[in-house]
Amino acid sequence: MTIKELQDYLAKEFDIHFDNPDLLAEAFTQASYVNEHPNQGLKFYERIEFLGDAVLELIVSEYIYKRYPELPQGKLTRLRAAMVCEDSFSKFAKECHFDQYIRLGHGEELAGARQRPGLLCDIFESFVGALYLDQGRPAVEKFVRRVIFPKLDMGWFDHAVDAKTSLQEFLQRNGDVKIEYHLLSESGTENEPVFKVNVSANDKVIGEGVGSSKKHAEMQAAVQALHKLRAQQN
Residue numbers in the known binding site for Mg(2+) are 49, 122, 125
Residue 228 found at the interface with its own copies (CB under 8 A): no
Using an 8 Å Cβ cutoff, are 93 and 99 in contact? Answer: yes
Q: According to CB under 8 A, which residues from 18 to 47 bind its own copies?
A: 46-47
Residue 196: C-alpha distances to residues 47, 116, 132, 207, 226 (Å): 54, 45, 50, 11, 17
Residue 189 zone, left/alpha/beta (φ > 0; ψ -120 to 50; rest): beta
Question: Rounded CA gap, 66 and 156, in Å?
Answer: 19
Among residues 76 and 179, whose Cβ is nearest to its own copies?
Answer: 76
Q: At what angle do helices 137-147 and 46-67 cross, to 10 degrees?
A: 70
Q: According to CB under 8 A, which residues from 63 to 92 bind its own copies?
A: 65, 71-73, 76-77, 80
Pick the catalytic residue from 26, 125, 134, 169: 125
Pick the catalytic residue from 53, 99, 158, 218: 53
Residue 125 found at the interface with its own copies (CB under 8 A): no
80: Cα separation from own chain's centroid:
9
Among residues 55 and 219, whose Cβ is nearest to its own copies?
Answer: 55
Residue 54 found at the interface with its own copies (CB under 8 A): yes
- Say whether 72 sits in a helix, a strand or coil: coil
Among residues 47 and 227, whose Cβ is nearest to its own copies?
Answer: 47
Catalytic positions:
53, 125
Q: Interface residues with its own copies (CB under 8 A)?
A: 46-47, 49-51, 53-55, 57-58, 61-62, 65, 71-73, 76-77, 80
